[in-house]
Amino acid sequence: MHIDVNEPVGDWQYRVETYCNNNCAVPADVARNITCSTDLPGEMTAGGTTSINYYLCGTPYGCLVQPNNENIYEFTPQDSGSVTFILDNMTSDHDLYVLEDLCSNNRCVAGATDAGVNTDSITFNAVAGRTYWIVVEAFGGTGSFDLSFQDNTGGCIEDCDDGIDNDDDRSVDCDDPDCFGEPECIVDPTSTPTNTPTQTPTDTPTDTPTATPTRTPTNTPTHTPTETPAAVLAGQVTLEGRPAPPTPAWSVPLRVNLYPPAGGAPTFSCTPTTDQTGAFTCSGFTQGSYVACVKHSHTLQNCLNATLGSGTNNIDFGTLREADADDNNCVALVDFSILATGFGTCSGNIGYDPRADFDDDGCVALVDFSRLSTNFGLCGDDPPGSGAAEQP
């Protein structure tokens, strides 16, 4: 509901606007989940929902009533940074919105509301691991459209199914660590070939009544390799400056690396996202002794010695100290400069930098400065053989 009251009273004139939160059902209203590799040609709003009818944000037109159908998509970015959505080939006038909360008007991040165009786009600063709702509204009536991403941006740095090394790190598609866990890179176990034993005919010796000596076959033992059960790492981290768990603020992406104790390149790596208590799981490791390291993009790294056995291995990695804005494993002047540049801004504002939003609450504020002040001058753990981290 949206009500305007604009009545003169004596020497005063009053204007009142009020609205109600959208009446929506999550996730029943969501058309599908999308990733940085998703391209959606020929989408139709004719079969969409009508659960959202008012938006506070939008450029060039904000505070629009949108009574027609909309398609809603759920999106979680690979990394923190800018993400660009492109709306193309529209057969009628459609508008594009990004929301942080599907059922609250005042959590509208950005909107593209140009009139009478065939192509429109929207760019916003995304936080890794945070869920956003991408909404396409049929402002000029239902029709068809194409929805896609712009590749190699801050929040979508790798398209995982285009055969191109988008971020120039010499890893393509599912071989790129940025694609670990993406739906395009998860192998269906039912599609894995299985070796089926084939019966081999065996010659049956026949007794021959002659005086010719015969050789008696001797059974030769055959070594059959035994598969070593895989190890599972069930990890736990504590995050600084966030509300008490369980809460979505504790769900963040991590980088986990297992190194040989003597040093060298990681033997195993994974990029899990923690649950709302800071717990995560990585599987497929070989049993053995490692130095296990865990890091978030703006925390210092924690490493510890770990011996992984068969089955689940529970490991608490302790508190990940915040304020490493430039992700170099030390809190120093560069991190302070990044925070100072974006201080006082929130997601959707010009100048907002999610790298300095250490508690991922959508704003760079005093609590973030407090984390930097507390940890200033500290460096995180380094894996064996890399040398101790030094403050730049």
In a domain, residue 365? The reply is: yes
Are 347 and 285 members of one domain? no
pLDDT in tens, 96-108: 999 888 777 668 8
* Tally of CA atoms within 13 A in the half-sphere of 199 that contains its CB: 3
In 3D space, the residue among 310, 261, 253 whose CA is nearest the CA of residue 278 turns out to be 253
Task: Give the type of residue at 189.
Answer: P
Query: Could you give the CA distance from residue 64 to residue 57 in angstroms, rounded to a whole number?
Result: 8
Instruction: Give the integer Cα–Cα distance in Å for 35 and 50.
Output: 24
CATH number of the domain that 290 lies in?
Answer: 2.60.40.10
- Per-residue model confidence (pLDDT) at position 1: 42
> What residues make up the domain containing 144?
2-149
Nearest to 110 by CA among 67, 49, 160, 61: 61
* CA–CA separation, 19 and 136 (whole Å): 21
23 plus 119 within the same structural domain: yes
Domain match, 315 and 337 both: no
Indicate the burial class of 309 (C-beta count within 10 angstroms; 0-12, 13-18, 19 or more). Answer: exposed
- Does the bond joining 213 to the residue before it have cis omega, within 30 degrees of 0? no
What 3-state DSSP class applies to 356? helix
| pLDDT score, position 346 | 94
Residue 272 near residue 279 (C-beta atoms within 8 A): no
Distance between CA 239 and CA 371 in Å, rounded? 11
C-beta separation of 337 from 355 below 8 A = no
Looking at the structure, do residues 361 and 292 belong to the same domain, yes or no?
A: no
Weakly modelled stretches of the chain, pLDDT under 70: 1-28, 105-106, 151-154, 180-181, 183, 186-228, 386-392
Rounded to 5 degrees, φ, ψ at 361 are -95, 5
In a domain, residue 20? The reply is yes
Q: Tell whether 172 is covered by a domain.
A: no
Do 299 and 359 sit in the same domain of this protein?
no
* % helix, strand, coil for the chain, step of 5: 10, 35, 55
Q: What are phi and psi of 103, to 5 degrees?
A: -115, 20
DSSP-derived letter for residue 359 is T
d(CA 59, CA 189): 46
In a domain, 39, yes or no: yes
Report the candidate in 343, 289, 299 with the shortest Cα–Cα distance to residue 322. Answer: 299
Q: Which residues contact 90 (CB under 8 A, 6 or more apart)?
A: 117, 118, 119, 120, 143, 144, 145
Of 47, 86, 98, 91, the residue nearest 70 (C-alpha): 47
Q: Are residues 21 and 101 in the same domain?
A: yes
**Do 274 and 337 fall into the same domain?**
no
Mind listing the pLDDT tens digit for each residue in 10-33?
A: 554 444 444 444 555 555 678 778
Look up residue 352 and give its DSSP letter. -
Domain endpoint, select from 149, 165, 189? 149
pLDDT attached to residue 3: 42
Q: Is residue 278 part of a domain?
A: yes
Q: What is the pLDDT of residue 9?
A: 44
Cα angle at 211 between 209 and 212, to 5 degrees?
100
- The string of DSSP codes covering 73-112 is EEE--SSSEEEEEEEES-SS--EEEEES-TT-GGGEEEEE
Q: Report d(CA 111, CA 135) in Å as an integer.
A: 9
- ∠ CA(209), CA(215), CA(219), 5° rounding? 125
E strand spans, 185-310: 231-239, 255-259, 268-270, 279-285, 288-295, 302-308
Residue 98 shares a structural domain with residue 15 = yes
Statement to judge: residues 144 and 30 lie in one domain: yes
What's the predicted TM-score (pTM) here? 0.46
Looking at the structure, do residues 13 and 82 belong to the same domain, yes or no? yes
Give me the number of domains the chain comprises.
3
